[in-house]
Amino acid sequence: MTKIIGLTGGIGSGKTTVANFFKEKGVPVYIADDEAKKIMDYNEVIAEVQQLFEEKVIDNFGKLDRKKISQIVFHNKEKLNALNALIHPKVKAHFNTWLEKHASFSFVIKEVAILFETNGHLYCDATILVTAPIEIRVERVMKRDHKTREEVLQVINNQMPEEEKIKLATYVVENEKLEKTHKQVEIILQKLKFL
């Protein structure tokens, strides 16, 4: 049976970089956030999401106003939980279909931003946590998302502390210098072959 390797990390840690290293090595990689965004573009899902909010969260093009939704759920845990309860089962079903298509591989990577927070690690055979010093993470996100330092720190402070994630992770990749990151991924790849 194909093993599921969960890949996660806080904002700006470099999950995508590590996911791409695995892709380059021929390992199938499922990016849960990307798939969730695609699912949220389905007409029936747009309607279901709108029902969760009193405010209008559909833009003039009939698509979900992701920025508006983000602002609402960032300050409203209840709404965030309701949104997750709606979207997560759909992503899970989509992943299961994807997994069937990759059944010939000994293992696949499932990249999930909030893997430990949603207990997703319990459904994985092993987990990889990507970490980086907080200053580097802040700089990366400021550059990538054009956010202020305060905005990035607010997001980081709202996420599960890295120390807690480290305790739950099977492997930890310190993603500061690319060359070192690559070497760590190579070592993990060898270990995963014997899972």
Token reading at 136: 């580097």
Q: Residues comprising the binding site for ATP?
A: 12-17
User: C-alpha angle 159/154/128, rounded to 5°?
Assistant: 30
pTM equals 0.91
pLDDT one digit per residue (tens) for the chain, 195 residues? 999 999 999 999 999 999 999 999 999 999 999 999 999 999 999 999 999 999 999 999 999 999 999 999 988 989 999 999 999 999 999 999 999 999 999 999 999 999 999 899 999 999 999 999 999 999 999 999 999 999 999 889 888 999 999 999 999 999 999 999 999 999 999 999 888
Q: Where are the domains of the chain?
A: 1-28+105-195, 34-101
Q: Which CATH architecture has domain 1-28+105-195?
A: 3-Layer(aba) Sandwich (3.40)
Name the CA radius of gyration of the chain, rounded: 17
Query: Which residues face 7 on adjacent strands?
Result: 111, 128
Question: Is residue 137 a contact partner of residue 10, using CB atoms and an 8 Å limit?
Answer: yes
Q: Residues comprising the binding site?
A: 12-17
